[in-house]
């Protein structure tokens, strides 16, 4: 098991514990959620401030180049993770790849918008409240790593080989925090805005530097060069003497 995968498993355990802690607060410490209201973020201290800091740091690490601490799948938009293949890049094939994966990505986008719209209807009709909206985002926070480490439903649409080559790897925070757009207040709005910034940086880089996102132009994305081995149930691992499917 790679070091990166071990770290991600530990992070998944941590996220599950955070979810359990938030459920506990829903039952026994609902005052903690007052920070979600308006500008209460600046007037009262809550355990949710810790979670806000963790989320902001996660998004910050997606929009700056980091060499070793962030998986290649999340950092492939940056020049320091680009290793051009030795042979000449087939730019026509590259264009076709980007077009096809972008079409698939926006199928996911539309489906997610429908889901978020349903959540919005439930909120505005009073079926769920702000705390429930928050818990949905925390639940998505857990599901994010389940998609990486266990099984990803979006792969049925994207048809990507693994997370390292995934076209929508850095859409995670946009998807996590999309339910918060209905909530208002500094806590939710700041997270939603920064998630939008991280998504915009990613999408701009796809348009400006498409060669960084294709394993036939970026050698670092090829299975034989993989060191992260995050989603070993999908990728092909090179083992001594033979190559097998995980």
Which residues, 6+ apart, have CB-to-CB distance to 184 below 8 Å?
38
SS3 233: coil
pTM: 0.92
pLDDT of residue 245: 36
Report if residue 244 sits inside a domain: no
How big is the chain by its Cα radius of gyration, in Å?
19
CA distance 167 to 98: 9
SS3 120: helix
CA distance 198 to 201: 5
CA distance 37 to 145: 28
**Pseudo-torsion of CA 193, 179, 47, 62, nearest 10°?**
-40
**Mind listing the pLDDT tens digit of every residue in the chain (246 residues)?**
788 899 999 999 999 999 999 999 999 999 999 999 999 999 989 999 999 999 999 999 999 998 777 899 999 999 999 999 999 999 999 999 999 999 999 999 999 999 999 999 999 999 999 999 999 999 999 999 999 999 999 999 998 888 899 999 999 999 999 999 999 999 999 999 999 999 999 999 999 999 999 999 999 999 888 888 887 665 554 444 444 333
Report if residue 245 sits inside a domain: no
**For the chain, what is the domain count?**
1
Report if residue 243 sits inside a domain: no
Report if residue 246 sits inside a domain: no
8 A C-beta contact, residue 134 and residue 180: yes
Report if residue 114 sits inside a domain: yes
Q: Which of 9, 23, 201, 154 is nearest to 193 (CA)?
A: 201
Q: Whole domain around residue 35: which residue ranges?
A: 3-81+88-231
CA distances from 210 to 88, 145, 155, 187, 197 (A): 15, 26, 20, 34, 19
8 A C-beta contact, residue 34 and residue 40: yes
Report if residue 40 sits inside a domain: yes
Bridge-based pairing of strands 236-239 and 242-245 is: antiparallel
């Amino acid at each position: 098991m790679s070091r990166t995968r071990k770290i991600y498993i530990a992070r998944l355990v941590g996220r599950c514990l955070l979810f359990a802690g938030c459920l506990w607060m829903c039952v026994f410490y609902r005052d903690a959620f007052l920070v979600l209201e308006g500008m209460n973020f600046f007037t009262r201290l809550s355990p949710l401030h810790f979670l806000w800091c963790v989320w902001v740091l996660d998004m910050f690490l997606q929009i700056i180049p980091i060499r070793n601490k962030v998986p290649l799948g999340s950092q492939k938009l940056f020049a320091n993770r680009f290793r051009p293949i030795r042979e000449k890049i087939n730019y026509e094939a590259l264009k076709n790849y980007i077009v096809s994966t972008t079409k698939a990505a926006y199928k996911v986008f539309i489906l997610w918008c429908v889901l978020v719209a349903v959540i919005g209807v439930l909120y505005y009709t009073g079926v769920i409240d702000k705390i429930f909206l928050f818990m949905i985002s925390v639940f998505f926070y857990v599901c994010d790593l389940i998609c990486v480490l266990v099984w990803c439903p979006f792969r049925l649409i994207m048809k990507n080989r693994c997370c390292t080559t995934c076209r929508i790897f850095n859409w995670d925070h946009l998807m996590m925090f999309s339910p918060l757009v209905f909530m208002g207040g500094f806590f939710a709005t700041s997270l939603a805005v920064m998630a939008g910034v991280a998504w915009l940086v990613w999408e701009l880089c796809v348009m400006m530097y498409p060669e960084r996102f294709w394993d036939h132009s970026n050698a670092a994305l090829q299975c034989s060069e993989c060191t992260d081995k995050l989603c070993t149930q999908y990728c092909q691992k090179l083992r001594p003497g033979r190559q097998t499917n995980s």
